[in-house]
């Protein structure tokens, strides 16, 4: 029996790197009822065995395709590998996912239907994405617009609201294949971090729009570790491994040099990076290492260095 929330023209591209296999199993099973194919692009994980995949394949409703890479190519390249396969499969849409995300029971059909409704109104949709439910505290995310000096978080009026956004986190985003042919694929040179931001603004520079859909929900894990800290007030903050701060800061600087990235985003992101540098240099357990990675990222960004950095 076909699930009523099944989208026959949507393929999922799910990127993995040393995943928690049980969490990944749950993530794959959740989306397998809603799409026709799942392309699992594994970036040379040390704990991902073909035998584990074979058992999972017997349990999934969608057709699974394992695309194992010999080295870690980064998130942009992995997405592109899966997208190209989805195009070969004649899919009309691609749903981007990562290993820490679990879709809601009707998330894909909601996104697909909302995209169709917008297109019928003559609105060119580059991507539409769901709200995220924090896996740790259950809080629902808001969508982001860019002000002059800060990022503005936009809430939902109701469970069917469609919110005009400036960019989306890649995981959970639904992209029409026709749009990818116009905008292009992901920028592999960024390796990780800001890959989604760059693509969204590239799409907007071509006259397309980005939307968030209220009521379409996906559970998502934020950061490798969550800690409660006091910084002007008590707050719960996601902490990443130090090497991630290198890519965050380097790629920010690289994007500042691109003309299609809006000036207001550049100003707001510079303010964000300064806040991050102050915050993590005070609160992170390995704050000196984090500060070193941020500084190295800025230097390499100014030098125009991209791709994967050896030694990280």
* Length, in residues, of the chain: 312
Q: What is the mean pLDDT of residues 82-94?
A: 97
Tokens 């749009």, located at residue: 179
Question: Which pLDDT does position 235 carry in this prediction?
Answer: 55
Q: b vs e for 64-86, b when ≥16 Cβ sit within 10 Å of the residue's Cβ?
A: bbbbebeebbbbbbbbbbbbebb
How far are the Cα atoms of 86, 185, 238, 267 from residue 95, in angstroms, in the given order?
Answer: 10, 14, 25, 31
| Paired sense of beta strands 151-154 and 143-146, if any | antiparallel
Summarize pLDDT for 222-277 with one digit per residue, the tens. Answer: 666 655 555 555 556 667 889 999 999 999 999 999 999 999 999 999 999 999 89
Nearest residue to 83 via CA among 74, 70, 96, 99: 96
Tokens 């809006």, located at residue: 262
Question: Which pLDDT does position 3 carry in this prediction?
Answer: 67
Taking the C-alpha atoms of residue 107 and residue 19, their distance in angstroms, rounded to an integer, is 23
In 10 A of CB 239, how many CB atoms? 20
Summarize pLDDT for 115-155 with one digit per residue, the tens. Answer: 999 999 999 999 999 999 987 778 899 999 999 889 999 99
Q: What is the mean pLDDT of residues 18-29?
A: 92
Range with the lowest mean pLDDT among 29-33, 124-128, 160-164, 236-240?
236-240
Question: Which pLDDT does position 156 carry in this prediction?
Answer: 94
Is the confidence at residue 310, as pLDDT, over 50? yes
Question: Which pLDDT does position 65 carry in this prediction?
Answer: 95
Q: What is the mean pLDDT of residues 106-116?
A: 97
Beta bridge partners of 50: none
Q: What is the mean pLDDT of residues 170-181?
A: 97
Question: Which pLDDT does position 111 carry in this prediction?
Answer: 98
How far are the Cα atoms of 128, 138, 167, 216 from residue 93, in angstroms, in the given order?
Answer: 11, 29, 18, 17
Range with the lowest mean pLDDT among 57-61, 90-94, 274-278?
57-61
Is the confidence at residue 41, as pLDDT, over 80? yes
State the burial class of residue 149 (Cβ atoms within 10 Å of its Cβ: 0-12, 13-18, 19+).
exposed
Percent of the chain surpassing pLDDT 90: 76
User: In 3-state terms, what secondary structure has residue 127?
Assistant: strand
Is the confidence at residue 2, as pLDDT, over 50? no
Percent of the chain surpassing pLDDT 70: 94
Question: Which pLDDT does position 188 carry in this prediction?
Answer: 98
- Check residues 294 and 239 and name the one with the higher pLDDT: 294
Reported confidence tier of residue 282, pLDDT bands at 50, 70, 90: confident
- Average pLDDT of the chain? 91
According to DSSP, residue 150 is labeled S
Is the confidence at residue 1, as pLDDT, over 50? no
Is the confidence at residue 190, as pLDDT, over 60? yes
Reported confidence tier of residue 285, pLDDT bands at 50, 70, 90: confident
Q: To the nearest 10°, report the CA torsion of 232, 297, 45, 223.
A: 10
State the burial class of residue 203 (Cβ atoms within 10 Å of its Cβ: 0-12, 13-18, 19+).
buried
Q: What global pTM score does this model have?
A: 0.93
Reported confidence tier of residue 58, pLDDT bands at 50, 70, 90: confident
Pull the structure tokens for residue 86: 């989805």
């Amino acid at each position: 029996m076909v699930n009523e929330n099944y989208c026959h023209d949507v393929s999922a591209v799910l990127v993995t790197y040393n995943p928690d296999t049980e969490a990944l199993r749950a993530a794959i099973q959740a989306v397998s009822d809603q799409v026709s194919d799942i392309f699992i692009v594994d970036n040379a994980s040390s704990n991902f065995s073909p035998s584990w995949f074979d058992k999972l394949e017997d349990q999934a409703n969608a057709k699974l395709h394992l695309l194992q890479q010999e080295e870690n190519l980064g998130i942009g390249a992995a997405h592109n590998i899966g997208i190209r396969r989805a195009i070969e499969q004649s899919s009309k849409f691609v749903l981007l996912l990562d290993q820490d995300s679990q879709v809601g029971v009707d998330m894909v059909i909601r996104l697909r239907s909302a995209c169709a409704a917008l297109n019928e109104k003559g609105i060119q949709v580059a991507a539409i994405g769901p709200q995220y439910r924090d896996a740790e505290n259950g809080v629902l995310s808001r969508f982001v617009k860019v002000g002059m000096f800060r990022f503005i978080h936009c809430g939902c009026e109701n469970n069917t609201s469609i919110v005009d956004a400036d960019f989306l986190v890649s995981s959970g985003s639904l992209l029409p294949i026709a749009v990818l042919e116009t905008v292009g694929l992901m920028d592999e040179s960024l390796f990780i971090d800001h890959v989604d931001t760059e693509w969204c603004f590239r799409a907007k520079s071509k006259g397309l729009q980005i939307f968030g859909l209220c009521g379409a929900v996906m559970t998502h894990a934020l950061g490798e570790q969550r800690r409660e800290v006091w910084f002007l007030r008590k707050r719960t903050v996601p902490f990443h491994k130090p090497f991630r701060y290198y890519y965050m800061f380097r790629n920010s600087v690289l994007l500042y040099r691109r003309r299609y990235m809006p000036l207001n985003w550049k100003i707001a992101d510079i303010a964000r990076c300064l806040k991050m540098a102050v915050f993590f240099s005070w609160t992170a357990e390995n704050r000196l290492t984090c500060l070193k990675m941020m500084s190295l990222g800025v230097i390499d960004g100014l030098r125009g260095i991209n791709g994967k950095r050896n030694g990280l």
